[in-house]
């Protein structure tokens, strides 16, 4: 039987297509290199329907990253893409872009991804790339943040979620959580306290983005239509401690 080109086919009914599209979950790809405790916080949030979307793939540049097991255990596509198999940073990032794009993500979440990204990569996903960093940015960009904070004798430390730009750990901050540094703290105890705060704020920031409440505007991050202050929103030590049921 022939059919006129204008006749709506039952399989491509416009209204049905629209409904299907509107109800589709927002898609997240998470990049890791190691333990993946932040990934686990995102997986847990998704399990409680508190992520605003679905983690469709986890990609690690380290084949033995524990986070890949966390992904598999949660039934998420887990991909090892060892950077050592590529001749250059550009070649690796090119391959990474291809794997990410295959999953058609709305958002790419860096969760302990220990690689410096090329400008090409950052430009490709600009505005939909989030990272979490273990310090109250702009303080302590780079590595060993807890030890450096202790060496300086600071009384307050914390973590920051920020959009990724070409400046390492320099992109605009969305939200921070502070922690008081106690006299008895060492790098390990401080790391644990900061990690707990990371697990608190990262799923929230991801949810804001996936629900369309958070964007990267021309002048910086915008939440619910309002520009955020230069260091983003700040959760105090006391508020975070209360959320986390800390002593
Ligand atoms: C976190 O401290 C995060 O801030 C930093 O890398 C660490 C990753 O930890 N970017 P995990 O793998 O999520 O446990």
Q: Residue 192 is encoded by which pair of tokens?
A: 């644990």
How far, in Å, CA of 170 to CA of 103, rounded?
27
The arithmetic mean of pLDDT across residues 123-131, rounded, is: 98
**Residue 159 CA: which ligand 1 atom is closest?**
4
pLDDT at 5: 35
pLDDT in tens, 58-115: 999 999 999 999 999 999 999 999 999 999 999 999 999 999 999 999 999 999 999 9
- Residue 84 marked in a binding site: no
Using one digit for the tens of pLDDT, what is the confidence trace for 15-47?
A: 555 554 556 899 999 999 999 999 999 999 999
CA-closest candidate to residue 118, choices 170, 165, 60, 172: 165
Assess contact for 176 and 231: CB atoms under 8 A: yes
How far does residue 111's CA lie from ligand 1's centre (Å)? Answer: 6
The strand ranges marked E within 11-123 are: 27-32, 54-60, 77-80, 107-110
What is residue 23's predicted lDDT score, i.e. its pLDDT?
61
For a pocket test of ligand 1, which of 130, 134, 162 has the largest count of ligand atoms closer than 8 A to its C-beta? 134
* CB-count exposure of residue 231 (10 Å: 0-12, 13-18, 19+): middle
Entry pTM: 0.90
Distance 158 CA to ligand 1 centre (A): 12
171 lines ligand 1 (CB under 6 A): no
Q: Mark whether 146 is an active-site residue.
A: no
**pLDDT tens, position by position, 141-194:** 999 999 999 999 999 999 999 999 999 999 999 999 999 999 999 999 999 999
Q: Tell me: pLDDT of 13 over 90.
A: no
Tell me what pLDDT residue 247 has. Answer: 72
| CA pair distance 20, 18, nearest whole angstrom | 5
């Amino acid at each position: 039987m022939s059919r006129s080109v204008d006749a709506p086919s039952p399989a491509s009914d416009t209204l049905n297509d629209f409904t299907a599209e509107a109800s589709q979950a927002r898609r997240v790809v998470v990049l890791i290199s190691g333990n993946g405790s932040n990934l686990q916080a995102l997986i847990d949030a998704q399990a409680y329907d508190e992520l605003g979307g679905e983690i469709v793939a986890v990609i690690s540049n380290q084949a033995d990253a524990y986070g890949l097991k966390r992904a598999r255990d949660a039934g998420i596509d887990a991909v090892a893409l060892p950077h050592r198999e590529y001749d250059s940073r550009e070649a690796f990032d090119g391959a990474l872009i291809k794997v990410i794009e295959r999953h058609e993500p709305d958002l790419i979440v860096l969760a302990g991804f220990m690689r410096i990204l090329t400008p090409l990569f950052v430009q490709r996903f600009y505005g939909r790339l989030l990272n979490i960093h273990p310090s109250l940015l702009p303080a302590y960009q780079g590595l060993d943040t807890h030890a450096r904070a202790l060496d300086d004798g600071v009384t307050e430390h914390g973590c920051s979620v920020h959009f990724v730009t070409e400046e390492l750990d320099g992109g605009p901050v969305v939200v921070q959580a502070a922690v008081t540094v106690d006299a008895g703290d060492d790098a390990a105890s401080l790391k644990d306290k900061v990690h707990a705060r990371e697990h608190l704020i990262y799923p929230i920031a991801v949810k804001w983005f996936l629900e369309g409440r958070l964007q990267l505007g021309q002048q910086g991050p915008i939440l619910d239509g309002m520009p955020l202050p230069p260091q983003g929103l700040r959760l105090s030590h006391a508020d975070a401690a209360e959320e986390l049921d800390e002593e």
